[in-house]
Amino acid sequence: MGVTREQYLEALDIVETYHQQLRPHSHGGTLRTWHDMKVGDKIVFTKTLSKYVLLDKEYEVLEVSLGFTDDHNGYFTFKGENRVPRCLAKSLIGGYKAKLV
């Protein structure tokens, strides 16, 4: 029996959680959430179903929609592969996971 992509991604989530427990404040400040995201931030995806995003690679946030914190339909844009802007909806957060760095 082989390992499915979903099982693999779940295992990665467990490993990431373990690493965060080892270094909870390694980025030198208080922990930040999606609600704190702003233009210029760097994000690293730890789970994705998108063919346009590489895991564990740092991407720069280019735009955050007005009302992103409160709006379920909010979105953010980041500089993707080959410097092509990519947009992800906040409502799709279950399809990917990322952390601010």
Domain parsing of the chain, residue ranges:
5-100
pLDDT, position 71: 65
pLDDT greater than 80 at residue 44: yes
Beta-strand (E) ranges in the chain? 42-47, 58-64, 75-79, 85-89, 97-100
48 three-class SS: coil
Q: What confidence tens digit (pLDDT) does each residue in 45-72 have?
A: 888 877 888 888 899 999 998 877 776 6
pTM over 0.75: no
Pairwise CA distance, residues 94 & 82, whole Å: 25
- At residue 43, φ and ψ (nearest 5 deg) are -125, 150
